[in-house]
Structure 1
């Protein structure tokens, strides 16, 4: 799962055998029907204390090209919008959205339909910036008719296919100029509800809401979270496989654990509370610029990446640009990233500075499926570089 399309494209692929491993079994179906179970979780937000979204219904269809008015839709609808604070759903916390009885078959499209703010409920969808007051979160009309997500879900007779909608609040809430307004441009991934994942600890001094822990493949974030008040983090669900675990925090050198192995039906223990990850202090430089597009509001994002000496790419930060001005600005550590190879669960991690990463970053901008890159850039402590991108 490495899909991060700004209008919510998301991909999940799973076999019938995997469905059984992920909660398959009696789903209350018949010889002709099975059940799709859905839950919601969230990656951490950036600079917000609350992000509330109101879900009207979830729709599924076997046709990937079906429009919202075509036949073949089965809906999981709520009599009143289900309002969820996404920031309560980090560190492996899920909230159930319910179950949908479905005809046996292969389903390729899902739509997430959000309710709109109105005069009666002006803060139905809302955001509370850290240190600020609750304000409305504007939802585009396309989200209100159904955020399209491409999926690959097999429904088997009398089986439960258990899936999770992973809502990335950090990349979904977009500022709009200096007006104090915010827009919702959902970034959602649909994944099987794997039991497997990763847990561990960062130092308590980093348990401040600004530290981000993620597992990545090929420089794409698969799952991310913020440690809790004790420094503990849990990344779940995560598919079995090999990952880079990346830890970032403002004013700190990043840390990466390479070759982290996640096995089926197991939560991999990275380290114990007695040996937390402690990120060294680092000075920062700024990478900033503007993205221009031919459409308004501006729908684009910019990521800052590093390439490790072993060739692995990791994302250090990535967010949507300002929807009105197209601007972005990232404070990035100039100290070398500290890298350690994964060892057996709770084994000693031996970190060393990866000199190839010191103050070196690549930038990647994306808009409407197009991608442009720049760099590598060399930052200086207290300095700033400007990199602009233009999409015709």
Structure 2
């Protein structure tokens, strides 16, 4: 099973709201007068085989420096609307939603991820997808508080972390499985990453980075690669736990330093 988890420096629980009309004037600003906006989607893990969600749009609630555009919702659109398996976002893989859109200076107050209704889930140990019920209010937009000032000439790269484990709710004895999405957001420039490789290839392992303030977990991909992104600057303890079917003992690595805007690349971690 492919799983991926990030805990992000800016943590926000999703708020659900209706979608307002928007205008796109701030997205047509010349680059010398504005800034570049990119948004990508990653996955916090959950104990499932697949979690398929239909992503159809991204909007921002934007207070621009132009009085005419204040407090409006802007539809940015996404690179390729479609149905995506969140659990494929592992080993440093992410889903680019928006790339290098030009916006005016001002403040991004919120980001809204808009879903369709073609969502489904494959439970652990099963092979057939079950419908993932999505209340209509959630389809209108998953709202994430940001409140990020936008200055001219800068690149603003946001990570949206879709927390699968918190987002899936089994409705009592009815058998219905409900999608109540929880998203968190992080600006990459304010955080750092940890990357590494675990051998032997094919050994599934869980990797947790933790300190007194936060913890984040991810899993290796098929090649043994892993990445934990969006970590606050600081010193972490890394715990690598092999699959329960393995005979290997966990490995603990102390004093892993994360610097904002950088990736800490570890030496190859070998289980033998």
TM-score (structure 1 length as normaliser): 0.53
Aligned pair 1:262/2:258, yes or no? yes
1:142 deviation in Å? 3.5
Alignment of 1:99-138 (within 5 A): 99=99, 100-115=101-116, 117=117, 124-132=118-126, 133-138=128-133
Q: Is the 8 A contact 2:134 2:178 kept in 1?
A: yes
The Cα RMSD (Å) is 3.4
Corresponding residue number in structure 2 for 1:301: none
Aligned pair 1:91/2:91, yes or no? yes
1:187 pairs, out of 177, 182, 189, with 182
How many equivalent residue pairs? Answer: 242
Rounded Cα–Cα distance in structure 2 between residues aligned with 1:268 and 1:78: 30
With over 3 angstroms needed to count, the CA separation of the structure-2 counterparts of 1:2 and 1:172, relative to structure 1, is farther
1:144 pairs, out of 125, 136, 139, with 139
Rounded Cα–Cα distance in structure 1 between residues aligned with 2:74 and 2:37: 11
Q: Is the 8 A contact 1:4 1:187 kept in 2?
A: no
Corresponding residue number in structure 2 for 1:176: 171
Rounded Cα–Cα distance in structure 2 between residues aligned with 1:160 and 1:219: 28
SS in 2 for 1:170: helix
Alignment of 1:233-272 (within 5 A): 233-248=226-241, 256-272=252-268
Alignment of 1:181-220 (within 5 A): 181-193=176-188, 196-202=192-198, 204=200, 207-208=203-204, 211-218=205-212, 220=214
Q: Is the 8 A contact 1:8 1:189 kept in 2?
A: no
SS in 2 for 1:56: strand
Aligned pair 1:53/2:77, yes or no? no
Residue by residue over 1:338-392, the C-alpha shift from the partner in whole angstroms, topping out at 9 and shown as x without a partner, is xxxxxxxxxxxxxxxxxxxxxxxxxxxxxxxxxxxxxxxxxxxxxxxxxxxxxxx
User: Which of structures 1 and 2 has the larger relative contact order (alpha carbons within 8 angstroms, sep 6+)?
Assistant: 2
Rounded Cα–Cα distance in structure 1 between residues aligned with 2:12 and 2:155: 28
Residue by residue over 1:303-347, the C-alpha shift from the partner in whole angstroms, topping out at 9 and shown as x without a partner, is xxxxxxxxxxxxxxxxxxxxxxxxxxxxxxxxxxxxxxxxxxxxx
Segment of structure 1 superposing worse, 150-159 or 245-254: 245-254
Rounded Cα–Cα distance in structure 2 between residues aligned with 1:219 and 1:248: 21
With over 3 angstroms needed to count, the CA separation of the structure-2 counterparts of 1:244 and 1:188, relative to structure 1, is farther
Rounded Cα–Cα distance in structure 2 between residues aligned with 1:30 and 1:271: 40
Rounded Cα–Cα distance in structure 2 between residues aligned with 1:271 and 1:227: 15
SS in 2 for 1:213: strand
Residue by residue over 1:231-279, the C-alpha shift from the partner in whole angstroms, topping out at 9 and shown as x without a partner, is 3322234343222334456759766544320135543233414x34x8x
Aligned pair 1:225/2:225, yes or no? no
Q: Is the 8 A contact 2:199 2:268 kept in 1?
A: no
With over 3 angstroms needed to count, the CA separation of the structure-2 counterparts of 1:244 and 1:134, relative to structure 1, is same
With over 3 angstroms needed to count, the CA separation of the structure-2 counterparts of 1:253 and 1:3, relative to structure 1, is farther
Corresponding residue number in structure 1 for 2:67: none
Corresponding residue number in structure 2 for 1:74: 74
Q: Is the 8 A contact 2:9 2:232 kept in 1?
A: no
1:3 deviation in Å? 5.7
Q: Is the 8 A contact 2:37 2:103 kept in 1?
A: yes
Report which of the two structures shows the higher radius of gyration computed on alpha carbons. 1
Rounded Cα–Cα distance in structure 2 between residues aligned with 1:174 and 1:253: 33
Rounded Cα–Cα distance in structure 1 between residues aligned with 2:211 and 2:56: 33
With over 3 angstroms needed to count, the CA separation of the structure-2 counterparts of 1:207 and 1:182, relative to structure 1, is farther
Rounded Cα–Cα distance in structure 2 between residues aligned with 1:218 and 1:141: 39
Rounded Cα–Cα distance in structure 2 between residues aligned with 1:80 and 1:38: 13
